[in-house]
Structure 1
Amino acid sequence: MTTTAHARSFDRAAPEYAAYRPSYPPALFDAVEELAGRPLSGADVADIGAGTGLATTHLHARGARVLAVEPGAAMAKQFRLGLPGVPVVRGDGNHLPLASGSIDILTYAQSWHWTDRCESVPEALRVLRRGGALALWWNDSDSAVGWTADQDARLRRLFGAEGDEPDPTARFRGLPPELSFAERQITWSRSVPLETHLANLATYSDFLVLGGEATAAFLAEEREILTEVFPHGTVEERYVVSLALAIPTTP
């Protein structure tokens, strides 16, 4: 299955993505402002691969003049339902529908890995103003938590990736080498009903391309396992946000 197929698979589950995916902690946006050396309030921000608007919501609430860019028609439609006052345009990180030198902060919330860096890096540099910032982040389940590590192992077995141990710091090793990034990791948590946790898993791209029958079978087994771990029915999820921010130098 191609990366493009995985990336576009989210259109199949846009309402579920909006309802069940975890958002982001306020500390993440504090870190973006600190590393960028400016507040989000009043900044021209473009959120690339915005999806249903999980990150855009926070950027907008911070007072940014934010524009969302999203390739998927269904995801963009869901975005408009949740954020009717925020503009969203169709496009992706490889072909930004943005004017050159028009953006103060360019954000990729869990979407940079869907881009082709040979195209997305020049595009980012093109649209950023002098002194502008490129902010990339990912939200990963914290594998230091015992039950999460066990679930990660089951997921790797299901998708034939037993050798791929979860490591949030690995995100930083794949950053564009031509840019100098400052890095932060932010731990946070949320408490959700068991069914919400399982519904969130079902929005992962690997499950969306796997198919309904196999997904349902895996989730049924997970329900039994996690009912023993969380007999009260509330799952304590812990996440690690890996943030990398660069202020490109201009010649």
Structure 2
Amino acid sequence: MTSASRALSFNAAAAQYAANRPSYPPSLFSTIEEITGRPLAGARVADVGAGTGIATTLLRERGADVIAVEPGDGMAAEFQRALPEVPIVRGDGNALPLADRSCDLIAYAQSWHWTDTSRSVPEALRVLRPDGALALWWNTGAAGVPWAEAQDERVAHWCGVAPADRPRPDDIRAGRLAGLSGLPYTRRLLRWSRTVPLDTHLANITSHSAFLILGEARTQDFLAEERALLGALFPDGMVEETYVVDLLVVQR
């Protein structure tokens, strides 16, 4: 299956994605303000690959004027249901449907890896104002959490993918971004956690593209096995998920 097909697989699970995916800590947005040297309040921000609006909601809470860009029908419909007052345009980072020099900040929350960087970097530089910034971030699994690392191995087995490199999963991406943009970048790793019911944790995991293309039967088999394993580890039914937000900011 192509990368584009995997990206569009989220459309069938948009409600599951919206209900169960983790959000982002307040420190993420404070760090973006610190690096760029300007407040988000009043800034014109494009949230590209906005999905169901998780990042858009938080950016707006900081006072940003946000326009969302989203290619998927299902994700866009869920976004509009949750945030009917926010403008959303259909498109992706490879050909941004935005005017030249129209944004102070372009944000990619969990979505930069779906772009063709040879196209998305020039597009970002075209749309950014002269003093603007490009911010990319991912929730990645924190290192040193044995049960979660073991779960990564099980997910890899079930889905036929490589286990996640928890500490610094995007080093290659970071170097490639710097090379393509010709601009320096700042990187920060921000640790945080959330505690959720076991069912929410499992629904979060199976909202990832590796499971969305796996098929219902194998996904249900995974869930049955994983629920039994985690039920023994977390007898109160609550799971603490620990993340590191991997943030990259490129400034013009």
Q: Same fold (TM over 0.5)?
A: yes
Deviation at 1:2, TM superposition (A): 1.0
In the alignment, the residues of structure 2 paired with residue 221 and residue 242 of structure 1 have an alpha-carbon distance, to the nearest angstrom, of 30
Given that 2:20 and 2:204 are in contact with CA atoms closer than 8 Å, whether structure 1 keeps it comes out as yes
Given that 1:143 and 1:152 are in contact with CA atoms closer than 8 Å, whether structure 2 keeps it comes out as no
Letter in 2 for 1:222: E
Aligned to 1:222: 226
Match of 1:174, SS state, is helix
Q: Deviations over 1:226-251 (max 9, x none)?
A: 00110010011111100000102xxx
In the alignment, the residues of structure 2 paired with residue 4 and residue 165 of structure 1 have an alpha-carbon distance, to the nearest angstrom, of 21
In the alignment, the residues of structure 2 paired with residue 141 and residue 97 of structure 1 have an alpha-carbon distance, to the nearest angstrom, of 32
Aligned to 1:130: 130
Aligned to 1:242: 246
Aligned to 2:156: 156
Correspondence list, 1:96-245, <5 A? 96-162=96-162, 164-175=163-174, 176=177, 177=179, 178-245=182-249
Aligned to 1:6: 6
Match of 1:170, SS state, is coil
**Where do 4+ consecutive residues of structure 1 move more than 6 Å?**
none
Given that 2:141 and 2:166 are in contact with CA atoms closer than 8 Å, whether structure 1 keeps it comes out as no
Deviation at 1:157, TM superposition (A): 1.8
Match of 2:207, SS state, is coil
Aligned to 1:77: 77
Aligned to 2:39: 39
Given that 1:172 and 1:244 are in contact with CA atoms closer than 8 Å, whether structure 2 keeps it comes out as no
Q: Which segment is superposed worse, 153-162 or 81-90?
A: 153-162
In the alignment, the residues of structure 2 paired with residue 120 and residue 219 of structure 1 have an alpha-carbon distance, to the nearest angstrom, of 36
The root-mean-square deviation of aligned C-alpha atoms, in Å, is 1.1
Q: Which segment is superposed worse, 164-173 or 106-115?
A: 164-173
In the alignment, the residues of structure 2 paired with residue 165 and residue 194 of structure 1 have an alpha-carbon distance, to the nearest angstrom, of 21
Given that 1:168 and 1:242 are in contact with CA atoms closer than 8 Å, whether structure 2 keeps it comes out as no
Residues matched between the structures, number = 247
Q: Which segment is superposed worse, 226-235 or 153-162?
A: 153-162
Unaligned 5+ runs, structure 2: none
Match of 2:241, SS state, is strand
- Give the TM-score normalised by structure 2: 0.95
Letter in 1 for 2:21: R
Q: Which segment is superposed worse, 71-80 or 174-183?
A: 174-183
In the alignment, the residues of structure 2 paired with residue 229 and residue 189 of structure 1 have an alpha-carbon distance, to the nearest angstrom, of 18
Q: Deviations over 1:80-120 (max 9, x none)?
A: 11111111111100010000000000000010000001110
Deviation at 1:166, TM superposition (A): 1.5
Aligned to 2:52: 52
Aligned to 2:94: 94
Q: Which segment is superposed worse, 82-91 or 121-130?
A: 82-91
Given that 1:15 and 1:78 are in contact with CA atoms closer than 8 Å, whether structure 2 keeps it comes out as yes
Given that 2:140 and 2:169 are in contact with CA atoms closer than 8 Å, whether structure 1 keeps it comes out as no
Q: Deviations over 1:39-71 (max 9, x none)?
A: 000000000000000000000111001000000
Q: Deviations over 1:154-202 (max 9, x none)?
A: 111223335x451342313312123311000011111100011111111
Match of 2:183, SS state, is coil
